[in-house]
Amino acid sequence: MTKLNTDITRTFEIPNDANSVPVAEGAKIYEGALVGRNAAGYGRPLQAGDAPAGFAKDHVDNANGDDGDKNAELKSKGKVALTIGGITTADVGRKVYASDDDTFTLTKAGNSFVGFVARIEKDGTAIVAFDFLFTETEAAAAQPTNENGGE
């Protein structure tokens, strides 16, 4: 490959926080659910340990379909209000994990990385910054460390 020596028109997706994933056979994804990828790369309601792909923008029912018969449109970057038991203002900056499509925790063991606590909205609810377009390692490298050690 050589560097450009003339203008080039590139195609960009709008909005830049969107993504899409083909849905796994037999999966039913509810609007607002955190969607994970199974071992074959198909989307399903997140299970602990899945690589998260984003939050479902709509309800997608592939219960009677084969792998990839339907696609789920996702919000893969942004901030979202999540219920996290026992969260306090001291947890701002800490990593957030999920054990399923709607259960969020500060516990890493066996769970899937979601993002970082940006602020506390109200008792038990945090605003979490997420970016599933990057890996956990890339996201962690971009996040400033805090006095809580980030875990």
pLDDT digits (tens, 9 = 90+) for 25-52: 999 999 999 999 999 999 999 999 999 9
3-state secondary structure 44-96: EECECCCEEEEEECCCEECCCCCCCCCEEEEECEEEEEEEECCCCHHHCCCEE
Q: Which two tokens stand for residue 131?
A: 């970016």
Kind of pairing between the strands at 112-122 and 34-37: unpaired
What pLDDT is stored for residue 147 in this prediction?
47
| pTM exceeding the 0.85 threshold for the entire prediction | no
Nearest to 102 by CA among 39, 52, 37, 42: 52
Cβ-Cβ contacts under 8 Å for 64 (sequence gap 6 or more): 26
What pLDDT is stored for residue 92 in this prediction?
97
Q: 138 phi and psi, to 5 degrees?
A: -65, -40
Do the beta carbons of residue 84 and residue 27 sit within 8 Å?
Answer: no
d(CA 36, CA 66): 17
Flag whether pLDDT at 140 surpasses 70: no
Do the beta carbons of residue 33 and residue 47 sit within 8 Å?
Answer: no
Mean pLDDT value of segment 99-106: 97
Report which DSSP code applies to 145.
Answer: P
Which pLDDT band holds residue 149 (cuts at 50, 70, 90)? very low
